[in-house]
Structure formats: structure tokens, C-alpha cells
Chain A
Amino acid sequence: DGGITQSPKYLFRKEGQNVTLSCEQNLNHDAMYWYRQDPGQGLRLIYYSQIVNDFQKGDIAEGYSVSREKKESFPLTVTSAQKNPTAFYLCASSISTPNTGELFFGEGSRLTVL
């Protein structure tokens, strides 16, 4: 079945450690996104990529980094510079053109900093 796979589903990190969240899609979508979800705040955009080897900062990119070396993959690294990394992270993809397409989401990764 086509879809988006995020891993791991749960992740625990000690302060000062970098962690990488995986996101893989087999929908042949050009555009991919990372969102952060906190209770009562909705979804906030961290990074997005419209095409391979290109990505742009979203609204809350500080302390995060991404890469887009393959169309299918868009991993997110939460660095030690992110001051409050405990959150639910959602990866999504969509068609790029036209701009009318809905987002397809993965099942999410919950990161907890100990």
C-alpha cells in the first residue's frame, strides 16, 4: 500500500543528544514536510522540501536540520540546540503542482527528552 512511514514511533533522548527521525514515502510525491504538534498549539511547520536536494525553513526551524537526497526520504534531525524538543513530530507529503493537493501524513514520532 502507498503511504508514509515514520520511525521510530517513540523515542527517548537525553539532553545534549542529537536524534534523527526517519520519514519515507512511496506515493511519488515531490513535496515533503515536517510538522511539530504540541497540545493546544495545532501543527507548526519546521521544514519543507518541494524537490530533491532543496528544502526551506518553516516557522520553527531553529534547532532542527533536514536533508532531501532522495525523493522518497526526508529525515529530520533534532539537535541539541533545540531547547524544548519534547513533542509529537509529523511528516507529510503532497503533490507539488497544482497547489490544490491535500497533505498525506505519517503516523508520527513522539520524542521525549529525559
Chain B
Amino acid sequence: AQSVAQPEDQVNVAEGNPLTVKCTYSVSGNPYLFWYVQYPNRGLQFLLKYITGDNLVKGSYGFEAEFNKSQTSFHLKKPSALVSDSALYFCAVRDGNSGGYQKVTFGIGTKLQVIP
């Protein structure tokens, strides 16, 4: 069974400092990895994804993520945090090796708080 772990319930970072939100995954085949962001009482918005190719993926709003196969990790990063980045962040995985429908498994989310 596939799974996603987001080990930190909350991450606090000062505005202007770099931020990292951690994600590790477990999947039997090749991983398709995704990051989403959710603002209060809103739906999730797609940030970026890794399917294949370069391990460093760039996405929306200046976010990027690094795929590390040996550590089965896909940490979300941003060089300089903004107060407006404060939100709930979800990592998700899908098994890319299997045919037909493969469900997406989400982590439980990490709340990012950027302090002015």
C-alpha cells in the first residue's frame, strides 16, 4: 500500500527566511509526486509535481521541490518566505507503474506559519 508522511504538523519560519516542508513517501512502483496548498475554508491548489526527469522541480509562487529517490523524499522549499505563504500544505503520491486508475494518497498536511 502506498503512503505519504508529513512529519511536522506545523512549521514556523520568519518572513524572508528560507522554508522547507518535509514529505516522505512509500510506493511500489515509480512515484508521481505532488504538492498542493490550501488556504482556510478553500479548496486545494496545485503547486508542482514530479513525474520524471530533473530531480528539482519548480512550481507556482516561487516554490520548488527536490525529489530524492534514495531517501524517498520530496521536500517543498522556497528561498524566501512571505507572510502570504501561510497555509496548509499537502504532499501526495500516485503509483506511476500500474495500468488503469491509480488513486492519489495524501499526507495529513503541514501548517506553515510565516511570522512577520
Contacts and interface: CB of A to CB of B under 8 A. Distances in A.
Interface of A: 4, 6, 31, 40-43, 45, 48, 50, 56, 58, 88, 90, 92, 99-100, 102-108, 110
Contact of A100 (B46, B51, B108): B51
A62 B42 CA distance: 25
Interface stretch (B14-22, B63-71, B96-104): B96-104
Given A42-B108, A48-B103, A50-B101, A99 B94 contact: yes
B108 A40 contact: yes
A13 to B, nearest CB: 18
A43 B6 CA distance: 13
A105 B44 contact: yes
B84 interface: no
Contacts, number: 54
Given A42-B109, A48-B103, A108 B42 contact: yes
B106 A43 contact: yes
B43 A108 contact: yes
A100 B102 CA distance: 10
A42 B108 CA distance: 4
A88 B43 CA distance: 10
Q: Is the interface of B mostly helix, strand, loop or mixed?
A: loop
Interface range, B side? 20 to 34
24 contacts: A6-B43, A31-B101, A41-B108, A42-B106, A42-B107, A43-B44, A45-B104, A50-B101, A90-B43, A99-B101, A100-B32, A100-B49, A100-B51, A100-B96, A102-B34, A103-B36, A103-B46, A103-B104, A105-B36, A105-B45, A107-B42, A107-B43, A108-B41, A110-B41
Residue of A4, A56, A58, A102 most packed against chain B (CB within 10 A): A102
Contacts of A56: 101
B74 interface: no
Interface in B77-108: 90, 94, 96, 101-104, 106-108
Nearest to A49: B101
Given A58-B103, A100-B96, A106 B43 contact: yes
